[in-house]
C-alpha cells in the first residue's frame, strides 16, 4: 500500500516529463518563420476572406510564412510597390500589371483570383445616362490609383468614344456613393463584388454597366510577386500559392468560417455584408479554365488576348513576351473551381 502513492507520483512526473519533451520536440520541429508582406488591392473585404482564413488556421505559418496583410489603395499602387521591389507580394488588376510591365515593372503573376473582369460603372438613371457613349463630357469619380483609370482607354475605344472626352475626379473610395447622390460626379467605378451595396443605396435609379458585358473581359485581380523575390524564394512562393489556392477552394465549399475570420481580423466589417460580397466574388472566379484545369490558372491564350487588348487600346511603352508576366507552375491542378 505504501508504494501506491509513490507510483502515482512517479507516473505523474513521468507524464509531465514526457509532455515537456514532446513540446520541446515540437518547438524544434516548427519551421522557421519568414516574414512576408502582402499588399492588397484595397481595404479588406469579402474578396480577401481566404487570406485571413488561411492565416487564422495557421496554414501559412505551418509552411514557415509569417504573412503580413497590408490594406491597399488601388491596384496601381500595389503594382508599383511590387514592381519596384518595395513589397514582395501584391494583389492587382492584371491588365494594369501588363501596362506596368511595359514601363519596366519587375512582376510575375502566380495566382489568378478574378477569371472575369470585376470592373463596373455606376450612375443615376435620372441623370439621363444610358450607357458608355453618354459618358462624354461627364465627370467620373474614383481614387487616383484605381485600376479602372488605367483600363478606361480600352473601354472607351472599344465603344467608339475618345478616352479624353471625360473628366476624372479624385475622390476617396468611401465617398463614391455620396458624391454620386450629391451629383458632384456623374459616374463612378466599382468592383462587382460590392454591387449589392450600390443596389441597396441607389435602388431603381441605379444605372450599371459591367465591363465584361461591354466587349472588355480581361483577367481581373491576380496575385503578383517581385521577380527578384521569386528567384530568391521559389520554394516559399510555391508554398504560399498552394496554401492560398487551398484557402480559396475551402471558402467556395464553406464560406461562413472564411468570412468570419475576415470579420474577426477587421472589426469594422459586418458579417452579412461580407457574405454578400463573397457570393459575388465566386461568380468572378468562375470560368471554364478555373473549373476544368485549375483554380487560379492564367490561360496562355487568354493572356495573349489580354496583351493584345492592352497593346492596341492603351499602349505599351515597351513590348515584351507576355509569357514572362505569369506562371502556373506552383498550382495544384487537382484543385479546381466547383461552381
Segment 214-250, tens digit of pLDDT: 878 999 999 999 999 999 999 999 999 999 999 999 9
Is residue 146 scored above 90 in pLDDT? Answer: no
pLDDT of residue 15: 53
Could you tell me which residue, 252 or 312, shows the higher pLDDT?
Answer: 252
pLDDT of residue 6: 39
> With pLDDT > 70 as the criterion, what percentage of the chain qualifies?
91
* DSSP structure string for 93-153: EHHHHHHHHHTT--EEEEEES-SS--EEEEEEGGGT--SGGGGTT-EEEE-TT-HHHHHHH
Segment 152-176, tens digit of pLDDT: 998 999 899 999 999 999 999 889 9
Cβ contacts of residue 216 below 8 Å, gap of 6+?
117, 119, 151, 154, 155, 158, 309
CA angle 116, 118, 121 (to 5 degrees): 135
pLDDT of residue 215: 78
pLDDT of residue 283: 94
C-alpha span between 16 and 276 (Å, rounded): 49
Measure Cα distances from 301 to 51, 98, 238, 306, 331 in Å. 28, 15, 23, 9, 18
Confidence of residue 144 (pLDDT cuts 50, 70, 90): confident
Average of per-residue pLDDT across 264-277: 96
Is residue 1 scored above 60 in pLDDT? Answer: no
Is residue 5 scored above 50 in pLDDT? Answer: no
Average of per-residue pLDDT across 310-327: 94
Average of per-residue pLDDT across 7-14: 46
Q: Order across the sheet with 167-170: list the strands.
A: 167-170, 139-142, 187-191, 119-124, 206-210
The grid cell for 162 is 475618345
Is residue 271 scored above 50 in pLDDT? Answer: yes
Segment 276-293, tens digit of pLDDT: 999 999 999 999 999 999
Is residue 7 scored above 70 in pLDDT? Answer: no
The model carries a pTM of: 0.83
> With pLDDT > 90 as the criterion, what percentage of the chain qualifies?
81
Could you tell me which residue, 8 or 158, shows the higher pLDDT?
Answer: 158
Is residue 180 scored above 60 in pLDDT? Answer: yes
| Structural domains in the chain plus CATH codes | 34-116+219-325 (3.40.190.10), 119-213 (3.40.190.10)
Q: Which of 299, 307, 276 is nearest to 47 (CA)?
A: 276
Segment 184-217, tens digit of pLDDT: 999 999 989 899 999 999 999 999 999 988 878 9
Amino acid at each position: 500500500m505504501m508504494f501506491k502513492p509513490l507510483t502515482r507520483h512517479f507516473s505523474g512526473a513521468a507524464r509531465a516529463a514526457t509532455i515537456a519533451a514532446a513540446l520541446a520536440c515540437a518547438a524544434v520541429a516548427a519551421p522557421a518563420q519568414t516574414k512576408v508582406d502582402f499588399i492588397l488591392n484595397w481595404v479588406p473585404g469579402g474578396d480577401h476572406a481566404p487570406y485571413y482564413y488561411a492565416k487564422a488556421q495557421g496554414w501559412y505559418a505551418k509552411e514557415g510564412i509569417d504573412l503580413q496583410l497590408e490594406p491597399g489603395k488601388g491596384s496601381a499602387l500595389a503594382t508599383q510597390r511590387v514592381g519596384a521591389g518595395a513589397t514582395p507580394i501584391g494583389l492587382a488588376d492584371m491588365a494594369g500589371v501588363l501596362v506596368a510591365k511595359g514601363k519596366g515593372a519587375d512582376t510575375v503573376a502566380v495566382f489568378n483570383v478574378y477569371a472575369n473582369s470585376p470592373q463596373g460603372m455606376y450612375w443615376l438613371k435620372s441623370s439621363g445616362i444610358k450607357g458608355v457613349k453618354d459618358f462624354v463630357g461627364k465627370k467620373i469619380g474614383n481614387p487616383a490609383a484605381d485600376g479602372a483609370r488605367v483600363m478606361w482607354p480600352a473601354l472607351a475605344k472599344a465603344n467608339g468614344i475618345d478616352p479624353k472626352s471625360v473628366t476624372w475626379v479624385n475622390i476617396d473610395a468611401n465617398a463614391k456613393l455620396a458624391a454620386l447622390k450629391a451629383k458632384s460626379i456623374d459616374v463612378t467605378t466599382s468592383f462587382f463584388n460590392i454591387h449589392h451595396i450600390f443596389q441597396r443605396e441607389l435602388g431603381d435609379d441605379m444605372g450599371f454597366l459591367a465591363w465584361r458585358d461591354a466587349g472588355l473581359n480581361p483577367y481581373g485581380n491576380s496575385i503578383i510577386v517581385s521577380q527578384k523575390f521569386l528567384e530568391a524564394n521559389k520554394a516559399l512562393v510555391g508554398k504560399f500559392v498552394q496554401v492560398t489556392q487551398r484557402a480559396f477552394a475551402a471558402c467556395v465549399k464553406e464560406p461562413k468560417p472564411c468570412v468570419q475570420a475576415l470579420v474577426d481580423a477587421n472589426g469594422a466589417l459586418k458579417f452579412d455584408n461580407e457574405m454578400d460580397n463573397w457570393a459575388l466574388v465566386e461568380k468572378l472566379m468562375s470560368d471554364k479554365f478555373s473549373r476544368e484545369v485549375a483554380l487560379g490558372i492564367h490561360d496562355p491564350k487568354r493572356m495573349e488576348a489580354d496583351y493584345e487588348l492592352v497593346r492596341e487600346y492603351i499602349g505599351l511603352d515597351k513590348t515584351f513576351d507576355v509569357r514572362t508576366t505569369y506562371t502556373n507552375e506552383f498550382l495544384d491542378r487537382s484543385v479546381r473551381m466547383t461552381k
